[in-house]
Amino acid sequence: MIVTVTLNAAIDRTLTVPNFQRGQRHRASAGVTLAGGKGINVARALKTLGVPVVATGLVGGATGTRIVEELTAEAILNDFVRIEGESRTSTAVVDPAGGTYTEINEWGPAVGEAELEILLDKLRYLTQGAELVVFAGSLPRDVADDFYAEAARELTRRHVPVVLDTEGEPLRLGVEVEPFLVSPNQAEAEALVGQEFHDDEDFRLALDQIAEMGPRNVLITTEDGCVALLREERDSRESRSFRAVAPQVEPVSTVGSGDALLAAYLAARHAGRTHEESLRSAVATGAASTLEIGAGRFDPRHAGRLQAGVALSALDAVEA
């Protein structure tokens, strides 16, 4: 069983509006409403891949009730903590004609210390026997930047592997706890190491630098796939670095493709597949998810067909 944790869950409403223009009245040609938030997106993808998963986190108000109802309708096991504040709603407009995506996100509710403690208690219960815990997404208002780090520290002491997908200070503090895997996107990784990446050597050095901060494995999602540093043991001196590039597709929406990619990598490793096989599956699934509207949604058959087109190569050190 994999447990996903979403502290800033949302109702995601995505509208398809061809030729969208600011300041004009439009009619949507289609609309999709889903429970959202990065941890929920990962749970949705894991469930599609047949991996046992339970989604937890914080929800509040009528929107929180809707989040739970939407997850239940998708047959995604869930066990959320109810909070006093109102969960957020996110609205997105996809323009297939112009190839643009416009997103408006609410800040989300403030969360009290007592509510966080209830969540930690629930995590202690849900993670008994869990194979992996995924913390993903932003932190709500008034939650300390070290929340993920402290929760991960406790789980690591109990020998529960932790995956962390967040940004900014919560990511910087989280990597120091030596999680099993961190999975920032390129912009988040650049902010973590303090420089932009322009070529494979920049990516390779960044993977090494992030790995030295603590995590056993590093997976950075990029616009065309991912780069990764992977090793069998945290203290192993031997690691392997890869670049995986997705085949060309005509995307409908790229939102949540990184969440689907991460879920597919975890699912493949959960099934005992090799690093190379896992990365091919991950990148193909991420590409397949861009063919549908709705974060974490994809057709496994499309992902399977795309795997053969994934270009996988080693990221080797450049000799002077």
In total, the chain counts a number of residues equal to: 320
- What are the two backbone dihedrals, phi and then psi, of residue 101, each rounded to the nearest 5 degrees? -140, 125
216 falls within a domain: yes
- What are the two backbone dihedrals, phi and then psi, of residue 279, each rounded to the nearest 5 degrees? -70, -40
- The per-residue pLDDT for 320 is 38
User: What is the percentage of the chain residues whose pLDDT exceeds 90?
Assistant: 82
Domain that holds residue 294: 2-314
Q: Identify the segments of the chain with pLDDT beneath 50.
A: 318-320
221 falls within a domain: yes
Contacts of 5 by beta carbon, 8 Å cutoff, 6+ apart: 39, 56, 57, 123, 133, 134, 135, 136, 151
Alpha carbon distances (Å) from 57 to 17, 54, 64, 88: 32, 10, 11, 13
Closest among 176, 189, 268 to 227, alpha carbons compared: 189
- The per-residue pLDDT for 95 is 86
The alpha-carbon radius of gyration of the chain (Å, integer) is 19
Among the residues of 74-193, which ranges form H helices? 113-126, 147-157, 168-175, 186-193
Q: How far apart are CA 69 and CA 50, in angstroms?
A: 21
Q: What's at 319, amino acid-wise? A: E
283 falls within a domain: yes
86 falls within a domain: yes
- The per-residue pLDDT for 316 is 73
Tell me which of 121, 235, 259, 299 is the catalytic residue. 259
Question: Is 224 annotated as catalytic?
Answer: no
Q: For position 291, which CATH number holds?
A: 3.40.1190.20
- The per-residue pLDDT for 236 is 59
319 falls within a domain: no
Please state the domain count of the chain: 1
Q: Which residues are paired to 2 by β-bridges?
A: 53, 132
Q: Which residues are paired to 314 by β-bridges?
A: 242
- The per-residue pLDDT for 237 is 63
320 falls within a domain: no
